[in-house]
Amino acid sequence: MRRTSKRFFPTLAIALAGLMSFPVAAQNSVSLKAYKARQPSLTLTLNEAIAKAYNNNPALAGQKARIGMFTGDVQHARRIVPSNPELELSGGRRSNRSQTSTDYGIRLSQEFWTAGKADLREKVASGQLSSAELEYDFLRRAIGARVRAAFFDILLARESLETARRTIDLMSRTRELMRISVNQGKRTRLELNTAVIGFARAKNQEAAAQRQLEESRLALSEVLGVDPQEPIRVDGNISLNFENLPPENQLVKLALSRRTDLQAAMALVSSAESGLDLAQNQTIPNLRVFGFFDREEGSNIIGGGISVPLPTVHQFGGEVKRASAELKAAEVRSEQLRLSIKIGVLRAQAKYRAATAQLEQMSASILKRSEETLELMQIAFRAGKVGTTDVLAAQNSLISVRNEYIEAQSDYIASVKALEISTGGGIVMASGSGQ
């Protein structure tokens, strides 16, 4: 009995402690539904989203920091002289058998630029700063295009979810019609199974639309530079407006004139040219001018002079070779970017034409007609005017039309995004509302 009592009390204490702690744990926990319900959401119009991205996007912030670095380089390059003046002090004691004296000297020297090195250094730094600023401008335009595309993707995903739910409702009606007919012995199990499969396909479309909506929200969060756990809602309605693109040559010309990243590459070429001139001019040494005052044996000596380093051992051959290679690399990058811009514009143009052609054929009215067709087939089926094959064919047609309709809009959004980026903002996606 003693052994039993020794085990009983610790066990009872543990049980009581667990019961006492349970309400505390329950108070700290919350259901997923309640958690989602109390989360505030960020609702943005398109213009508000773009403004927020300009303020928060980390890529833009990083580029601003680079601009600050190059601004400091320009300030450093604008100094009037290569270095601060130098002050030298010397002293000594002179003595002989008859007398002693103290000798001392003061020397002040200053180095000065030669061969236009000051201007060349400023041109090098200014070219790099200009390139960084132009890169920032292009990045800003690209961020705007990404925001627009992500914004419209959310609207499209929202519409996709609505159409998927309408399709589920229609498919459920077909399934019930087939189930009733099977129970009445008018239809086979095979026909019911086909209807059930159609309903499952519609549910799968709903899940895909829900997943796409979440992915679009995450994409918008990323480009906005906000916490991805922060709920985001968009205020607007998708209304894509077709535009007639200019001829191919004009479109390419527009892109080359507006792409500030190309201008940034050309600014680096100019900077590299100045860098090569600067490296070549290093063989011309800077001058150091000095003046001195000495007192020796009671006499004052005042004078001055010029010192020049002799470029005999170090002739700056390596610096010239490196600067020449940097110039060549900058020129190659500029030409590669020019070619890439042309290819990107033509590719985006082809995608845009294909997407607009698809949307012209696969409009919202076609989707609505497919939904109406299935509804009419269900009514006719109840009246015995059509068979199972007709209803199931209308059901399959609706699923296919809906997929093609959503895909055509998605392709259109992606094509206009590519056009906007490739033309440097020359072509911008427009919306009827939600600005």
* pLDDT of res. 2: 46
CA dist 180 → 165, 168, 188, 193 (Å): 23, 18, 11, 13
Position 103 in a domain: no
Average pLDDT, the chain: 85
Query: Is residue 373 included in any domain, yes or no?
Result: yes
Q: Which residues pair with 233 in a beta bridge?
A: 43
Summarize pLDDT for 355-404 with one digit per residue, the tens: 988 888 887 788 888 889 989 988 988 888 888 888 888 888 888 888 88
pLDDT reading at 23 higher than 80: no
Query: Which secondary-structure segment (H or E) carries 88?
Result: strand 86-95
Share of the chain above pLDDT 70, in %: 88
Q: Is residue 181 part of a domain?
A: yes
Residue 57 has pLDDT above 90, yes or no: yes
CATH number at residue 331: 1.20.1600.10
Closest Cα to residue 110, out of 292, 282, 287? Answer: 287
For residues 170 and 398, the answer to whether their CB atoms sit within 8 Å is: yes
On whether the pTM is more than 0.85, the answer is no
Average pLDDT over residues 154-168: 90
pLDDT of residue 298: 74
E strands present in 248-332: 287-296, 299-307
> Does 301 map to a domain?
no
Least confident of 14-18, 47-51, 111-115, 122-126: 14-18
Three-class SS of residue 431?
strand
Across 47-61, 63-77, 228-242, least confident range: 228-242
Mean pLDDT of the region 50-55: 94
The residue segments making up the domain with residue 146 are: 39-91+115-286+317-422
Fill in the amino acid letter for 291. G
In a domain, 323, yes or no: yes
Domain membership flag for residue 341? yes
Number of domains composing the chain: 1
Residue 381: per-residue pLDDT: 85
pLDDT tens by residue, 163-199? 899 889 988 888 888 888 888 877 778 888 888 888 8
Look up tokens 């610790």; give the residue.
Answer: 10
Q: Which two tokens stand for residue 339?
A: 């070619």
DSSP-derived 3-state class of residue 293: strand
Evaluate whether residue 48 is within a structural domain: yes
Asked, for residue 433, whether it belongs to a domain, the answer is no
What is the reported pLDDT for 242?
65
Confidence of residue 34 (pLDDT cuts 50, 70, 90): very low
